Amino acid sequence: MSGVLFGVGLSAVISVSVCGIAWVLSKRSEMDREKNSPFECGFDPKKSARIPFSMRFFLLAVVFLIFDVEIALLLPLPFLMSSVYGVLGYYAGGSFLIVLIIGLVHEWREGSLDWIG
């Protein structure tokens, strides 16, 4: 019984001391305003929230999402080609890649992939 009480008391002391140390260390970071400000991609949190956002940032994000979904769709293609579909899988995968490459070339020529300029 005394061993259980000792264990409970020791865990309470350790818990309170860790919380106290964390509280003391957190007081030091309250002075840094930049670390406590929220970070929003493409926006400065210190300025007005009603300023227009960068269209280049938006287009780059959309292109990233498109090609991210493309990876998810291309991942199972080797399994499809080796199983039931055979030659049809090669044609489907090849046509999908051709459409994606044409889209990439279009975005490249349009200048949407140029971050600076």
Three-state DSSP state, 48: coil
Percent of the chain with pLDDT strictly greater than 70: 68
Residue 99 in any domain: the answer is yes
Query: What is the span of the domain harbouring residue 83?
Result: 1-110
Kindly state the greatest CA–CA separation across the chain.
78
Where do we find the tokens 């940032």?
57
pLDDT higher at 7 or 37: 7
Residue 103 lies in a domain: yes
- The number of helix segments (H) and strand segments (E) in the chain equals 5, 0
pLDDT at 15: 95
pLDDT tens for each residue of 13-30: 999 999 999 888 876 655
The amino acid at residue 111 is G
With respect to residue 87, please indicate whether it lies within any of the assigned structural domains: yes
- CATH number for the domain that contains residue 19: 1.20.58.1610
- Residue 39 clears pLDDT 70, i.e. is over it: no
Say if residue 29 is exposed, middle or buried (CB neighbours under 10 Å; 0-12, 13-18, 19+). Answer: exposed
- Taking only the tens place, the pLDDT of each residue in 41-81 is 656 666 666 666 677 777 778 778 877 888 888 887 777 66
Count structural domains, the chain: 1
Do the domain assignments include residue 115?
no
Asked, for residue 73, whether it belongs to a domain, the answer is yes
How high is the pLDDT of residue 9? 92
Instruction: Tell me, yes or no, whether 116 lies in a domain.
Output: no
Predicted TM-score (pTM) of this structure: 0.45
pLDDT tens digits, 73-96: 888 777 766 766 677 777 878 888
How far is Cα 63 from Cα 73, in angstroms, rounded to an integer? Answer: 15
Which residues are bridge partners to 40 per DSSP?
43
